[in-house]
Amino acid sequence: MATLNTPQQQAGILSFYDAPERGPKLSAKLVLIAVAAFSIVIIILDHFV
């Protein structure tokens, strides 16, 4: 099977997509829940303090 090489790939522009991922793996659901909880805490603190 032939590999299609575009000018962007040859220049290394798209190489970051192939880089190994480091760091914690977070699901989108966990991130949304954390943002919602943080927002609620900020709103409550702003309202009562």
Q: From CA 18, how far away is CA 10, in angstroms rounded?
A: 13
Instruction: With a cut of 80, say whether residue 28 has pLDDT above it.
Output: yes
Instruction: With a cut of 70, say whether residue 34 has pLDDT above it.
Output: yes
Instruction: With a cut of 70, say whether residue 30 has pLDDT above it.
Output: yes
Bigger pLDDT: 15 vs 33 = 33
What pLDDT was estimated at residue 47?
92
Query: Rounded mean pLDDT of 28-35?
Result: 96
What pLDDT was estimated at residue 26?
84
**Burial bucket for residue 9 (CB in 10 Å: 0-12, 13-18, 19+):** middle
pTM: 0.53
